[in-house]
Homo-oligomer: A and B are copies of this chain.
């Protein structure tokens, strides 16, 4: 850990301000600026996005959508347009050639001030002349500020057809003179930074295109752009890595450890770039966040326990090789070994002193030391169990959602068979999103696929059951992506539900469904629930470092005996409802019985029944 205090030298003109190196966050409430007000120690430095195009080309629509996109991700923006400039700063200007040039010159200067202040300035004016736009660009470049010219390449016919303000009509009638595109020239950019074909693309696609450009230019901070950094070694460096591997001391991974390597390597725990160091571990246990890059939710430790012997054996090494069943998995760089302190971890992570909790028990048996360090993973983790095709990485899922044209992704985490109560939550969420104006909300149906306790339904059975649900049309195939979330289950209640939500941000989910008692279980000693049934939802709603995600909380669903289907429980008519517990469901299935009508899709029930009647199912 850094002992350094970041202290700026005294400056007679202003009192010292200080940025703590350990706590610098993007859009932090503790930022230092240089004399021109630019934010220092922040990832983002300000720029101007200059929209140009005909009246009706979509400048305002796209700039507002972009502003909304950026603002919701913590980027300060400000849009300059006719409304706030023509009637104010430039109200002394008319529409002569000279005044038009002066209009654009001033806007360029003001945009530069906003960019200099550390905002994204969105400028939304026809700005028809190349020379004027070139001047605006020059003004920025002289100040070292990025200037992005975005050409709204919308055909005149399209603009004229839209004619939102009725101006084209007036211009054609000769009521407006010197109207750009009609009787005044528009000089299309020859080398615009971004060209938006608004006639062919949706507003969201246009926004995505600008964001992608900002991302490629390195203008937007990591937290804003939706690709996830994977920890795999690039193909061209693989041979050298394998050669190096042979020279390294080895540390053996359990299968559980390997699941965590998979989680880390695919980017689910971004920005973690390896097993947690002690600073990450403390931050996670105490504050449920990680501040390596901005302030990002990270509620569960992702750590590699090792024994005291391993600790001594690797002391002084610059890198070690992680192996599983003698197979090389990853190089861990710059190892840091620190105390596991299991009792403290049990208490802070699970909020319980129950040592027979299944994950806690494993944790105590694992090593007394933790090995932190950056990971370079040799190849993608595969399990060869026939389910690897469902184990899609965040980047693969991002592509899939894009391919499907999703304008909203909502995620549903589960580790149990799907009944119609779950389906109700998912359908209801979709309805709400459509009512809010989304055109294609896509569901990420995302069962957890790592370690679970012995009496949970095994992954392969759950996947069969989920596939049956899709086959039977309970969920819409076209707008549902079924994939496996490779994380182990920790049964840590409100602490873990944050992890389940956060990991889904990595793969593009903006909405996360949370019901009752997520990630909870009963105390294995007392049989009493470890967590209050509402706390997972409430803690998640307040979770720090999850700004990109909207939590969609639900009341519990139960079997409505009157309506013979699952509906939201209404305490006022509680006699109409029957709660079908997991235990009851298991008993019915084992006995080869049928659940009440409308509880679960029949084909899906068959899958469960077959499992519980087989010898593999636990007898609990």
Contact = CB atoms under 8 A, between A and B. Distances in A.
Contacts of A80: 113
Interface residues of A, number: 115
A619 interface: no
Interface in A417-442: 432, 435-438
Given A10-B435, A88-B113, A110-B110, A553 B79 contact: no
A28 B276 CA distance: 26
A68 interface: yes
Contact of A15 (B84, B351, B438): B438
Interface string A1-39: 101010101111111111010110011111111011101
A132 interface: no
Given A18-B550, A437-B12, A542-B279, A29 B73 contact: yes
B26 A27 contact: no
B437 A11 contact: yes
A55 to B, nearest CB: 16
Given A15-B407, A76-B76, A341 B68 contact: no
Contacts of A531: 344
A71 interface: yes
A162 interface: no
B544 A287 contact: yes
A71 B41 CA distance: 12
Interface stretch (A116-124, A236-244, A260-268): A116-124
A339 interface: yes
Contacts of A110: 89, 110, 113
Given A84-B36, A113-B110, A539-B282, A13 B64 contact: yes
Contact of A5 (B17, B351, B539, B553): B553
Interface stretch (A288-296, A382-390, A395-403, A449-457): A288-296
Interface string A337-350: 00101011011101
A508 to B, nearest CB: 14
A218 to B, nearest CB: 19
A65 interface: yes
Contacts of A291: 542
Contact of A346 (B13, B14, B283, B347): B347
Nearest to A17: B72
Nearest to A31: B71
Interface string A208-238: 0000000000000001000000000000000
A170 interface: no
A538 B46 CA distance: 32
Q: Which of A5, A83, A344, A438 neighbours the largest number of chain B CB atoms within 10 Å of its CB? A: A344
A194 to B, nearest CB: 19
A18 B139 CA distance: 36
A14 B65 contact: yes
Interface in A325-380: 339, 341, 343-344, 346-348, 350-353
A386 to B, nearest CB: 38
A17 B71 contact: yes
B77 A37 contact: yes
Q: Which of A3, A286, A438, A532 neighbours the largest number of chain B CB atoms within 10 Å of its CB? A: A286
B282 A538 contact: yes
A279 B553 CA distance: 15
Interface in A275-332: 278-279, 282-283, 285-289, 291, 294-295
A33 B71 contact: yes
A139 B13 CA distance: 31
B78 A117 contact: yes
A205 interface: no
Interface string A239-263: 0000000000000000000000000
Contacts of A39: 71, 76
Given A27-B29, A79-B36, A436-B7, A544 B547 contact: no
A532 B341 contact: yes
Contacts of A538: 1, 22, 278-279, 282
A103 to B, nearest CB: 12
Nearest to A79: B37
Interface in A74-115: 74, 76-80, 83-85, 88-89, 92, 102, 105-106, 109-110, 112-114
Contact of A495 (B106, B286, B534): B286
B68 A14 contact: yes
Contact of A78 (B113, B347, B544, B547): B113
Contact of A64 (B5, B35, B553): B35
17 contacts: A14-B203, A15-B407, A17-B68, A29-B294, A29-B295, A32-B72, A36-B83, A36-B84, A88-B112, A106-B106, A114-B117, A282-B542, A283-B539, A286-B542, A343-B353, A347-B350, A347-B351
Given A1-B541, A22-B542, A27-B29, 5 more contacts: A3-B555, A28-B547, A32-B71, A89-B110, A344-B351
Sorted nearest first, the 9 A-B pairs with minimum C-beta distance are A10-B437, A29-B74, A30-B547, A353-B353, A347-B347, A89-B109, A78-B117, A37-B78, A344-B351
